[in-house]
Amino acid sequence: MGVRIIGTGKAVPKKVLTNEMMSEILDTSDEWIYSRTGIKQRYISTGETNTKLCVDAAKDALKDSGLKGEDIDLIVVATITSDKLTPSTACLVQTEIGAKNSMAFDIVAACSGFVYALDIAVKFIKSNEYKNVLIIGGEVLSKILDWSDRKNAVLFGDGAGAAIVTNDESDYITSINCVSVGEKAHTLTCNSLEIKNLYKKHSDDFSNYLSMDGKEIFKFAIDVIEKSIEKILKEENLRFEDIDYIIPHQANSRMIDTIAKRKNYDRNKFYMNIERYGNTSSASIPIALDEMNKKNLLKDGMKIILIGFGGGLTYGSALVNWKK
């Protein structure tokens, strides 16, 4: 029993927020943001919910795959910005796309979420009980940002990306490796609901804005990207030259520049679209994958490495041997 990706999709809000527009509300500039991150703009919700973006990405992926909602056996949504504590975003997507035959649940793995969802999809399919799995990474990060904090506010955008994974006689997704590093959890956090009841009153110190130690995350990301690439190359008996593309989580273009220089990797093999989308957390890899698919950049037989890293801390990687 093997697996392969047969469809991709994405969705973003209508509103584009450029660096120039950011400079009107924050003490920043296009030069300051772009030189440090590689970001020129991002999409920001003006009311589009995370569920809406996930549904639209799912419908796009279904269209690309030629499947219908009732063909889906499992829906996994990776998100840290769900609209509701319950029901899950996956259950809301299930209703909207007519996936009446599917099981549905959410996972929380932040920027690694899509790779985690891919790992789940592969394992469920290889159990021989599921055939078609819809995986989605979707975020409305703008609702958890402190918009007075220029260090974090300029980094993130909203959006969703999806892929449909199915069974196949051959195995086109291999060397999946997902890891959690909980001892570094404090470096990227976002609180949920405050404990507030008959015995516990509101605390002025409580915040549910995203908090990140940028320097520590930068070092962590560089380390795990290098490890992930080397692990896949070793497991698959490949050289870096054998890889056609690497799709990393779109966190910061300087990370990729640093890795490419340090390891003497061909920088052009790293597909980056952070300039247009910013950091969309769990949505960044599937948005990039769909963009490449729809631009016909991906050809049958290409070898693509996916690498996610982020809150948890978590990281995950996989080798996709592309066949549509």
Q: Would you say residue 1 has pLDDT above 90?
A: no
HSE of 98, CA atoms in CB hemisphere, 13 A: 7
Confidence band (pLDDT; 50, 70, 90) for 216?
very high
Q: Which of 249, 252, 293, 321 is an active site residue?
A: 249
First vs last C-alpha separation in the chain? 17
Q: Which residues of 218-248 are buried (b: 16+ CB within 10 A; e: fewer)?
A: eebbbebbbebbeebbeebeeeeeebbbbbb
Residue 186 annotated as catalytic? no
pLDDT of residue 324: 85
- CA 155 to chain CA mean position, Å: 14
The whole-model pTM stands at 0.97
Question: Is 279 among the catalytic positions?
Answer: yes
Chain segment 173-186, per-residue pLDDT in tens: 999 999 999 999 99
CA–CA dist 52, 136 (Å, integer)? 12
Give the integer Cα–Cα distance in Å for 259 and 307.
13
**pLDDT, mean over the chain:** 97
Task: Answer yes or no: is pLDDT of 26 > 90.
Answer: yes
Active-site residue, 54 included: no
Q: Which one of 50, 111, 132, 152 is the catalytic residue?
A: 111
In this prediction, residue 188 has a pLDDT band, given cuts at 50, 70 and 90, of very high
pLDDT tens string 114-166: 999 999 999 999 999 999 999 999 999 999 999 999 999 999 999 999 999 99
Kindly report, residue by residue over 233-288, the tens digit of the pLDDT: 999 999 999 999 999 999 999 999 999 999 999 999 999 999 999 999 999 999 99
User: Among 3.20.20.10, 2.160.10.10, 3.40.47.10, 3.30.360.10, what is the CATH number of 1-324?
Assistant: 3.40.47.10
pLDDT at 293: 98
